Amino acid sequence: MRVGIVGCGLIGGKRAKSLAALGHTVAATADISLERAQALAKAYPGCDAVGGWRELVARADLDTVVVATINDSLASITLAAVEAGKHVLVEKPAARSAEELRPVESAAQQAGVTVRVGFNHRFHPALLKARELVDAGAVGPLMFVRGRYGHGGRVGYDREWRANPELAGGGELLDQGVHLIDLTRWFLGDVSRVSGFAGTFFWDMPVEDNGFLCTHHADGSVGWLHASCSEWKNLFCLEIYGKTGKLQVDGLGGSYGLERLAYYRMLPQMGPPETTIWEYPGEDGSWNAEFRAFEAAVAGRQGSGATLGDAVAALDVVAAVYAQSAGDGRRAA
């Protein structure tokens, strides 16, 4: 593929590195800062830094666009790329709301192009292994999922774009919480009902710093989730409970700690389970694995990547929690 990158910050840089390593061409870059676009373009011979995203998506020499901007631009740039006949990989959450994203889903269907959403956590090796074990029946029918995800922010976090509802669309529930929602749907299926609360406990900002929710699924299974940016020590933990065993994923590498999967198999006599541990040290390979799945989707093969429909469903869950939390008035003292 010949790929254009819109948004040349940390994630755009990771995407460019990943797709180039897989043999694709980083052909053009665009960013609100031309200097940042030029800096990324210099790393890839023959890559052009263009004046803006509209110029990039209109280029006839590109077949794919990666959209890695802040939330307020994700849907509009994706829509323009789709209308220009480009395949798109757009970073999560893909929009500030489901209402912004639904027209993109319709346009992609009409244009016959592939759009996938960057829920890269699906492609961490511990989660891929957990999905393999679930599909093989290793823990029996699923009962519920419990997930926690969070960080502690940094000095000035409440003045960054993520704290601005016009730019971000929401707070921590929309930022990291959508990963938990997506993973829960990936294991348990569509959400039929949700209850929850999004509140601001510590940071002095107009968006939530903690989101708590319970998702109910058609088969009776349940997700119990908490996303927090007052976690202080970075944390990722996803526990998947079946009728004959349990899977627990801890860490995502880096500051989140060693990525690790524990499989607890119930014995006929019950008591302490049989335990198997897998550990995944080293560089985060989820970016490469996700782009491989994107390649497969473009080629017409169904993969495990998140679709626009998955993103819309996750955003609908977030919106339901926001609606239930409206008017509570809880803010940091």
State the number of CA atoms in the 13 A half-sphere of 301 facing the CB. 8
3-state SS, one letter per residue, for 103-146: HHHHHHHHHCCCEEEECHHHHCHHHHHHHHHHHCCCCCCEEEEE
Phi, psi of 127 (to 5 degrees): -75, -35
pLDDT at 329 over 70: no
Boundaries of CATH 3.30.360.10 in the chain?
Answer: 121-325
Boundaries of CATH 3.40.50.720 in the chain?
Answer: 2-118
CATH pick for 121-325 out of 3.30.565.10, 3.30.360.10, 3.30.1490.100, 3.30.420.40 = 3.30.360.10
CB neighbourhood size of 299 (10 A): 9
CB 74 within 8 A of CB 47: no
Q: Which amino acid is at 322?
A: Y
Average pLDDT value for residue range 304-330: 92
pLDDT in tens, 219-240: 999 999 999 999 999 999 999 9
Tokens found for residue 14: 């990771």
pLDDT in tens, 178-227: 999 999 999 999 999 999 999 999 999 999 999 999 999 999 999 999 99
Angle, helices 308-325/177-188, rounded to nearest 10 degrees: 120
pLDDT in tens, 98-143: 999 999 999 999 999 999 999 999 999 999 999 999 999 999 999 9
**pLDDT at residue 254, rounded to an integer:** 94
CATH class of the domain whose range is 2-118: alpha beta
- pTM score of the predicted model: 0.96
Round the average pLDDT of the chain to a whole number and report it: 96
